[in-house]
Structure 1
Amino acid sequence: MAGTLAGRVALVTGASSGIGEGAALALAAAGATVAVAARRADRLDDLVKRIQAAGGKALALPGDVVDEAFARNIVEQTVNAFGRLDILVNSAGIIQAGGVENANTDEWRRVLEVNLLATLYTCTAAIGPMRAQGGGDIINISSTAGRRAAAPFGPYSTSKFGLTGMTEGMRQEVGKYGIRVCIVEPGATSTEVADSISDPNYRKAMQAHVSKDGAMKPEDVADAIVFVLSLPRRANVSQLLIRPTIDVAPM
């Protein structure tokens, strides 16, 4: 498949829905070979079939990136299957509501594991192969919640603030190896991410927020990712804040 990313190999986590799915489709449409990872194997299989039907090449890697061994292994599997890894998009993420005083520490722990530590695992595994081949791109999907804390969603904001710090530190660390690092911070985007919120009231409110008129679509964020990757190697977009054109009021 011809395109601006022809010849590149990408790995996308959280690819069974939302921004991850949109990124995988956009990368494939731009010519990249794409390995896709997520827990829902049936959705990954369907995604691979769609990419292949459009003339692309893809590989499904089902599993949970919270498992450090699995997260590291999907990087290895991608390199083994396609000979290299040029692009890593960390899109796996979850939201939970909650504050600090009466924190549900199990929920806090799970959010931090998925949104921050799982990204650390894949990044750690990807840097070596990218360094050996002379460069690459790592893109971590965050949120406007990583810039502005929201008390009702303490676990989520905390994980995204942490992701911002980790990503910027990594950019400074690996730029000398030709590895570009970017954090993408979307505003309200129509995805399924709110569906897993355990509190029914906050779940309903967040579902309404991300689906209201003016909210972005996953493909909007995916197109922005392809833009970042398409720039000359000397240019590193380190932070990309992307919001709906129509002001969608925060929670």
Structure 2
Amino acid sequence: MAGSLQGKVALVTGASSGIGAAIAFALAEAGATVALSARRTDRLAALVARIEEAGGKALAIAGDMAVEDDARRAVEDTVAQLGRIDILINSAGIMDSGGIENANLDRYRQTIDINLMGTVYTCAAAVPHMLKQGVGDIINISSLAGRKGGPMTSSYSASKHAVNAMTDGLRQEVGNRNIRVSIYMPGATRSEVAESMPDPTWREMIKSHVNKDGVVEAEEAAAVVVFMLSMPRNVNISEITVRPTIDTTA
């Protein structure tokens, strides 16, 4: 594997499936050495093997991004074992259903902890290394839900609104020191995002939404990330929204 990211070191969270796994493979294909983090160690091992079979370099670092020590360790282990961290992709996240009325507050907190705080933990750990290096890229995977709300998706939407606000604030903090920070908001993209949803009705609804004909494939989403990272250093695509062509009103 060789390409526009030759010599770069990347950490991808949520790399065991879906968009995260596709991004990790695409970064390796573009020449980066990739550290992969997620909870499912068997999935990580399989992806490392796939990357290496294709001629790339990858390292598995198991962890739960909702746990601060795990999230920080993913960054520190990347630097310790690979020498630096040029790229951080925060793709770890869950989707949940439910509104405020009769809300399951434990599930609400879990959504915030994984989607928002997991992103905060890794960013806080990575930024000092990037500042010391004098260069870096952070792309946080948000959602179209970060631009709107819904009666039964308030925890997910709230978490993604918060990710957007935090990410743009970070861009303004460190952008003038050669660290590019970006928000990537995908629409319907084929993934396993519905699998963690406990409500069977909403689980099937979201499953149908992300698997309908014409959705964005995970590999297509990953190609967008490589494009963003391949731009000249004076160009920061600070936020990007990618929808399937079929979703004209979303």
TM range (shorter): over 0.9
Distance 2:212 2:222 in 1: 20
TM-score, normalised via structure 1 length: 0.98
Per-residue Cα deviation, 1:181-239 (whole angstroms, up to 9, x for no partner): 00100000110010110111010111001111111111111000000000000000000
The answer as to whether partners of 1:214 and 1:247 remain within 8 angstroms in 2 is: no
Q: CA deviation at 1:77?
A: 0.5
Letter in 1 for 2:58: A
SS at the partner of 1:190?
coil
Letter in 2 for 1:27: L
Distance 2:148 2:204 in 1: 21
Segments of structure 2 that go 5 or more residues without pairing to the other structure are none
Segments of structure 1 that go 5 or more residues without pairing to the other structure are none
1:36-115 map, 5 Å: 36-115=36-115
What residue is the counterpart of 1:168 in the other structure?
168
Distance 1:4 1:66 in 2: 32
What residue is the counterpart of 1:33 in the other structure?
33
RMSD: 0.9
* Residue 173 of structure 2 corresponds to residue 185 of structure 1: no
Q: CA deviation at 1:66?
A: 0.9
- Give the paired residue count: 250
Q: Runs of at least 4 residues of structure 1 off by over 4 A?
A: none
Distance 2:224 2:150 in 1: 25
1:87-236 map, 5 Å: 87-236=87-236
Percent identity between matched residues is: 56
The answer as to whether partners of 1:65 and 1:71 remain within 8 angstroms in 2 is: yes
Q: CA deviation at 1:152?
A: 1.2
SS at the partner of 2:101?
coil
The answer as to whether partners of 1:31 and 1:56 remain within 8 angstroms in 2 is: yes
TM-score, normalised via structure 2 length: 0.98
Per-residue Cα deviation, 1:120-177 (whole angstroms, up to 9, x for no partner): 0000000000000001000000110001112211110000000000000000001122
